[in-house]
Amino acid sequence: MAVCLVFMLMAFVVFPRTPLICAAGAAFGWKVAVIILFSGTIGSILAFLTSRYVASNWIRKKLERKPTFDLVARAVDEEGWRIIALMRMGVPLPGAIQNYLFGLTKIDVVTYSISTFIFTAPQVFLYSFLGATGRASLLNDGSSGLHLIISLSAILLIMSIIALIAWRVRVLLMRRAPLA
């Protein structure tokens, strides 16, 4: 229950979730990812709705200082779930800022919710698995080196995919930027 509440609240707080996901994975195993994914998605929806209906003027003023955010918002209005998917999978922008930013766009809450759930899942499972694997390797007596090699290979592969997606998002956003 505490893990669920923490990750619901993290959707509102501008703080990287990655260390917390890894810690939860180390403490509870990689299966905690399911709890993190559902509670994080619910929290994201609540932050999205807060941004859209409760605090939109205040959030707009905060985000006006960053011209990139306006660019992302316009891209979401034009491309919809595709931009949300790319941003959820590979942009090192804290989830809370993304939630607030997406709340200011024209995207509907259902599309936002489904996109957030589906495209947040790879990172949540990766970081939970990373935490669980890290703990297992520290507690391991060294007898299953093959298991560790396979685990590290999977982690490197997934991290490479996430890095490629992040690169692709940056390229797309740079193409959309108005030439000055």
Cα separation, 160 vs 42, whole angstroms? 28
**Amino acid of residue 47:** A
Which range has highest mean pLDDT (14-18, 36-40, 60-64, 159-163)?
A: 36-40
**Amino acid of residue 157:** L
Of the candidates 33, 39, 48, 38, the one whose C-alpha atom is nearest the C-alpha of residue 8 is: 39
Q: Taking a C-beta distance cutoff of 8 angstroms, is the pair 112, 52 a contact?
A: no
Radius of gyration of the chain (CA): 18
Distances (CA, A) of 75 to 56, 71, 101, 131, 175: 19, 6, 12, 34, 11
Contacts of 46 (CB under 8 A, 6+ apart): 8, 11, 12
Could you tell me the residue ranges of all domains in the chain? 2-176
**pLDDT, tens only, 22-60:** 889 888 988 899 999 999 999 999 999 999 899 878 877
Output the six-digit token pair for 168: 């692709």
**Structure confidence at residue 179 (pLDDT):** 46
**pLDDT, tens only, 96-143:** 888 988 998 889 999 999 999 999 998 898 888 888 877 776 666 555
Question: pTM here?
Answer: 0.75
